Amino acid sequence: MTHHWLIPWRNALMGNDPITRRHVFFVLLTLIPYVVTTGAIVQSAHMGLMRHNTALLLNLMSAGIFIGVFALVRSGWSRRFKDPVLTFPHALLGLCGCVLAYTQLGNQRGNVMILMAQTIVLSMLRLQPVQVLQLGLFNTALLACAVLGLSLSDPVHYPFSLGLTHFLVGGSTLLTLSLIGKWVSDIRMRIAHQAKELSEALHTVQQMATTDMLTGALNRRVMADLAEAELKLSERSGTAMCVALIDLDHFKHVNDQHGHHAGDLVLRTFTQSAQAQLRKVDKLARWGGEEFLLMLPHANEQDSLAALERLRHAMETLTFEGHAQLHVTMSAGIARPTPGESLEQVIERADIALYAAKRQGRNRCLLADGSPPPLLRQTPPAEVLP
């Protein structure tokens, strides 16, 4: 658990955004090799194995690379790239700095070889398999150039035999590490791919368990559970709630005259139109065939009737791709629960109002009981069931 007094410091260093903080954390992990390299350079200069100007230049270069990458990641600028941590270019620059330090450190060169290996190991946690291999080959090629350059320019202090030994031992180690890194990265990518497939499969199963696969509306089982819970909440809190049964008029005629494909299109189009018109808290479910159940929490009769009228008017204007002559209307019955009434009883009253709407000519919304507000009473064909 983070101490409260540390939070402002953490936010100042890593940012407030969790994603940015995670990216910055990966960059901060690379600080360890930088510190070790700086320590080795300072020690070599102190022992007289390196000129102080050279040591200062190397340390400034090392600090510049780290600060530059840190600034790009911390500012969020790097998030435009596929790898927002900039692992590959950072590793390339780091290896170049290591090889440059190798040419200057004299007896401390062995420490730099370890840092090269650490850079590859850290990179394998983020890079693609082929990038890890490319990093190893690049590092080996740089080391070969450094060994050859030192042997030719200073054969007394750096004989070719010493350089060859460093190259064979260091190069083979780096290549082996890069191959292992590629293998580890392969496994990591495979696990990530399998995890993604599993997540997608789980999402599909959840969708199948909770929604109607044709329309995308909730299925009957889930809607019954949600409506039961909302009914209990409404009774405890005293808030208004309504349910409505919606039926698409003459739907059998649509299937008979235009085919089941057109019928499926009508069901999907109605669902999409209704979900676009409704509030986020409203729940729409396919109740069976061409019948839908709509739950309207925190809505009285006036609110619910107005919402259903919007759906009805929208339904009148819907067009169906490939079926220019097809027009479908809807009828609805709306019921508000009374104290002590079960969900089945509420839906039954909404069902009675729905069939009354159909008997009165369809394409209308009726309240199961009570009277509509005056404004709505003047807006036919919305009516009240006596």
- Which of 336, 314, 340 minimizes the C-alpha distance to 327? 314
Structure-block tokens of residue 325? 């002559």
With b for 16 or more beta-carbon neighbours within 10 A and e for fewer, the 38-70 pattern comes to bebbbebbeeeebeeebbeebbeebeebbeebb
- Which of 307, 306, 287, 290 minimizes the C-alpha distance to 348? 287
- Which of 195, 199, 218, 221 minimizes the C-alpha distance to 207? 218
Structure-block tokens of residue 41? 């350079």
Of the residues 230, 290, 301, 383, which is catalytic? 290
In eight-state DSSP terms, residue 320 is B
Neighbouring C-beta atoms of residue 323, cutoff 10 Å: 17
Is 309 buried (19+), middle (13-18) or exposed (0-12) by CB count in 10 A?
middle
- Using only the alpha carbons of the chain, give its radius of gyration: 36
Give the separation between CA 373 and CA 380, rounded to whole angstroms. 13
Known catalytic residue at 290: yes
Query: CA 325 → CA 141, 262, 319, distances in Å?
Result: 72, 12, 8
Structure-block tokens of residue 225? 């559970």
Structure-block tokens of residue 358? 């159909």
At residue 33, the 3 state secondary structure works out as: helix
The residues carrying an active-site annotation are 290
